[in-house]
Structure 1
Amino acid sequence: MQPLAPSALWEIATPSPSSRLPGVAMAGFRARGAADLGVVPFPAVTLAIDLGPEPLVVAGDGRQVRGSTVIGLSRGGLRGGGRDVHCLQVRLSPVVAHAVLEGFTSESAPLAGWDEVWGRGAVQLEEQLRTAASWEQRFALLADALTTRRTEGRPMDAEVAYAWRELTRSHGTARVDALAAEVGWSRKRLWSRFRSQLGLPPKQAARLVRFDHAAHRLAAGAHPATVAAEAGYADRSHLHREITDFAHLTPSAVAREPWLSVDDVAWSAPGYLRG
């Protein structure tokens, strides 16, 4: 485990290079006592596989899920926590999620139980992860399961995957018209195929990626005016509106969110998003 500062709740474990997969990031989390935190929107589909003695609880969008949970590319307003939380969290590039989570879309079901989405074998795999002797063994078990499902899963249009990679590479500033021209499609066709396969229209996905970049810059201590200019917002007011729309928080509140404070420890290789 890699412990955070003494004042922090979380102990975090990360996998060795042998357990890492393209488009996938994994981390193990353990918190002593009660934990409650907001879920900051993020441009990846998140699996929170519950390994603790008491159920993990995630609530929002008019729904509450107890136990292992799937969180889509959703807006803010979600909260997660419980007592003595112990979970394996996985972030999937939407390209990978399309293949391994058949039937799940961020637009129609931004919050779901893992067994609903994974289907047959979810209970058995969760039990194997619970009884594994180490975090590294858990990471390897899940990596094998994800590799199998991706091989057998739904293919994604190469053009859609390219558009997603360009949106993440540009921190959400790439223009949809230009991306459509690059792949040889009409704007309407790219919009339709992107939305059907990733669960969000490309403009909304671009806003989410740009929001994520801005939120992390704010958490790192950058001034809001500087962040607005760097991230391509019209001005500081535009940044404020976008942060509030996605996170239901002000920029200064987002900068203090515990969810963001662990990112440099748990998710040290952001390139996995392009998967």
Structure 2
Amino acid sequence: MRRTDSVDRPLGAAARGVEMTRVGGRWRVTRPWPVQLRPYVHSYAGYWEAAASSYRVRLVPTGRAVVLISLGAPFVQVRRPGESHPNGQVTGSLVVGLEDGPRVCAHPGGQEAIRIELTPLGAYRLFAVPMSELTNRVVGLCDVLGPEAGVLAEQLAATGDWAARFDLLDLALSARIVRGPEPAPEVRHAWRLLRRAGGAMPVGRLAAEVGWSQGHLVRRFTEQVGLTPKTSARVLRFHRAAGLLAREGVDLSGVSAACGFYDQAHLNREFRALADTTPGEMATARVSEGAIAL
């Protein structure tokens, strides 16, 4: 068991810009990542559980890919609702591509891990594979990043100091991203436009903005982002609505109008399809990094 200091914090967590916050029964450990990673990494954080406690969460689409490096007990279940085949039992360190539906994760307790959220085009550079191959999939970390990723995970687990862990991680991410494939400028621009619009931009207008035919945009965008432009727009619109619902005093009709839904019924249908929940349930749920506690 990892030694802790007098306030039950993981040792080394207060060094070199590392910050800790208590989230339920876990510590969330963070540090600003280097400038060269900022266009590609949305967030990264370490997690350490002071007292082992099992939990289940539902992950909802965020428009980002995830890398989870397990340093302790792994998840016992990572699956889509209703999914029963062995692919639903991928555990250990893993990669999650962009998703257009919810996923349930169960952990037995005693978690120690590093979770990295990547922008779609950052994931494209890091993974160096068509993102469409990872859409709605959970894959072992080494199956995507190769055996060196397993070596990195072992080094991170053997290092008790969180600042030193982040140093190792920053070096590994920077080295791999810099030699990864460069996204097409048109795809980069299309994603930027779609994200800034919160998904409220028709595919035809996107194609006109980047100077491609609609069919060519769909093919290249799907290859490098992982979702089609239309599905990406749905996910981004949902994500924006979920963020608005987390604020106090908002009403569903106002959220529907602000996010470009036809009406409240359309909002309800999209929340059910993408997150297996309702806007009202989402507004009252405890949501953290795209996860709803179950």
Normalising TM by the smaller chain, what interval? 0.7 to 0.9
Displacement after TM superposition at 1:211 (Å): 0.8
In structure 1, give the amino acid aligned to 2:28. Answer: I
Q: Deviations over 1:67-90 (max 9, x none)?
A: 112111113331223112121110
Point out the structure with the larger helix share.
1
Displacement after TM superposition at 1:247 (Å): 0.4
* Residue of structure 2 in register with 1:15 after alignment: 31
* Residue of structure 1 in register with 2:61 after alignment: 41
Displacement after TM superposition at 1:34 (Å): 1.2
* Residue of structure 2 in register with 1:98 after alignment: 124
Structure 1 counterpart of 2:48, from 30, 39, 46: 30
* Residue of structure 1 in register with 2:21 after alignment: 3
Partner Cα separation in structure 2 for residue 257 and residue 69 of structure 1? 26
In structure 1, give the amino acid aligned to 2:179. Answer: E
If asked which structure has higher relative contact order (CA below 8 Å, sep 6+), I would say 1
Displacement after TM superposition at 1:136 (Å): 2.6
The 1:104–1:257 alpha-carbon spacing in structure 2 relative to 1, beyond 3 Å, is farther
Displacement after TM superposition at 1:137 (Å): 2.3
* Residue of structure 2 in register with 1:123 after alignment: 150
In structure 1, give the amino acid aligned to 2:89. Answer: Q
Query: Do 1:58 and 1:69's aligned partners in 2 also have CA atoms closer than 8 Å?
Result: no
Query: Do 1:101 and 1:118's aligned partners in 2 also have CA atoms closer than 8 Å?
Result: yes
Q: Deviations over 1:138-166 (max 9, x none)?
A: 22222221211112112211100111111
Q: Does 1:80 align with 2:97?
A: no
Unmatched 5+ stretches in structure 1:
264-275
In structure 2, give the amino acid aligned to 1:159. Answer: E
The 1:88–1:22 alpha-carbon spacing in structure 2 relative to 1, beyond 3 Å, is same
Q: Deviations over 1:219-262 (max 9, x none)?
A: 2343222211111111111111111110011112223444x246
In structure 2, give the amino acid aligned to 1:103. Answer: V
| Secondary structure of 2:89's aligned partner | strand
Partner Cα separation in structure 1 for residue 162 and residue 202 of structure 2? 41
Query: Do 1:219 and 1:255's aligned partners in 2 also have CA atoms closer than 8 Å?
Result: yes
* Residue of structure 1 in register with 2:170 after alignment: 143
Structure 2 counterpart of 1:55, from 60, 67, 74: 74
RMSD: 2.1
The 1:58–1:171 alpha-carbon spacing in structure 2 relative to 1, beyond 3 Å, is farther
Unmatched 5+ stretches in structure 2:
1-18
Query: Do 1:26 and 1:139's aligned partners in 2 also have CA atoms closer than 8 Å?
Result: no
Partner Cα separation in structure 2 for residue 107 and residue 214 of structure 1? 28
In structure 1, give the amino acid aligned to 2:75. Answer: L
Deviates more, 1:160-169 or 1:211-220: 211-220
| Secondary structure of 2:101's aligned partner | coil
From the CA coordinates, give the structure whose radius of gyration is larger.
2
The 1:58–1:156 alpha-carbon spacing in structure 2 relative to 1, beyond 3 Å, is farther
The 1:169–1:240 alpha-carbon spacing in structure 2 relative to 1, beyond 3 Å, is same
Could you state the TM-score of these two structures normalised by the residue count of structure 1?
A: 0.86
Displacement after TM superposition at 1:16 (Å): 2.8
Query: Do 1:72 and 1:111's aligned partners in 2 also have CA atoms closer than 8 Å?
Result: yes
* Residue of structure 2 in register with 1:180 after alignment: 207
Partner Cα separation in structure 2 for residue 35 and residue 56 of structure 1? 10
Displacement after TM superposition at 1:112 (Å): 1.1
Query: Do 2:28 and 2:48's aligned partners in 1 also have CA atoms closer than 8 Å?
Result: yes
Q: Does 1:250 align with 2:278?
A: yes
After TM superposition, list the pairs within 5 Å mapping 1:229-244 onto structure 2: 229-244=257-272
* Residue of structure 2 in register with 1:219 after alignment: 246
Displacement after TM superposition at 1:108 (Å): 4.9
In structure 2, give the amino acid aligned to 1:91. Answer: E
Displacement after TM superposition at 1:203 (Å): 0.6
Displacement after TM superposition at 1:29 (Å): 1.9
Query: Do 1:21 and 1:143's aligned partners in 2 also have CA atoms closer than 8 Å?
Result: no
Partner Cα separation in structure 2 for residue 240 and residue 261 of structure 1? 21
The 1:155–1:123 alpha-carbon spacing in structure 2 relative to 1, beyond 3 Å, is same
